[in-house]
Amino acid sequence: MSKAPRAAKGLSALGGLVYSTESGRMCPDCRQPLASCQCKALARAAARPAGDGVVRVSRETKGRGGKAVTLVRGLPLTDDEIDALAKQLKTACGSGGTVKDGVVEIQGDHVARLVEWLAARGFKVKRAGG
């Protein structure tokens, strides 16, 4: 039985640098530190559907221990613009919140207030849900 010659496994054959003590974890695609990785940011922006131009505001309590959260979906803005708008919405409601995958989450039931606020700023808004 003959043995096939083993190919030398170099760094490039294994997928390249995974971790650097200088900058931490590295992206396997663009070989940049994860903090400055551009390929993931492009994939996140492309992953969000374009939508129909209507901003939908709804209230949700599922998976939050009965606490109400107001969701704002379908904003036709970039990630940076959504972050800035979320800050304004949180200030207008006097509440906390976050942005997850292009969806603004505001703590509490503020659906009516946010529908009026967004409509006054030129967005086409619909109240979604019951």
Cβ–Cβ < 8 Å for 40, 27: yes
Within the chain, residue ranges assigned H as helices are 38-47, 79-93, 111-120
For the chain (length 130 residues), average pLDDT per consecutive 10? 54 56 73 75 59 86 87 88 92 92 91 93 87
pLDDT at 89: 92
Tokens of 129: 């849900």
pLDDT value, residue 96: 93
Q: State the Cα–Cα distance between residues 18 and 39, nearest whole angstrom.
A: 16
Confidence (pTM): 0.63
- Right CATH number for 55-127 from 3.50.50.60, 3.40.50.300, 3.40.800.20, 3.30.780.10? 3.30.780.10
pLDDT (0 to 100) of residue 63 = 82
DSSP state of 102: T
67-102 burial string, b = 16+ CB within 10 Å, else e? Answer: eebbbbebbeeeeeebeebbeebbeebebebebeeb
Q: Where are the domains of the chain?
A: 17-47, 55-127
Q: What pLDDT was estimated at residue 109? A: 92
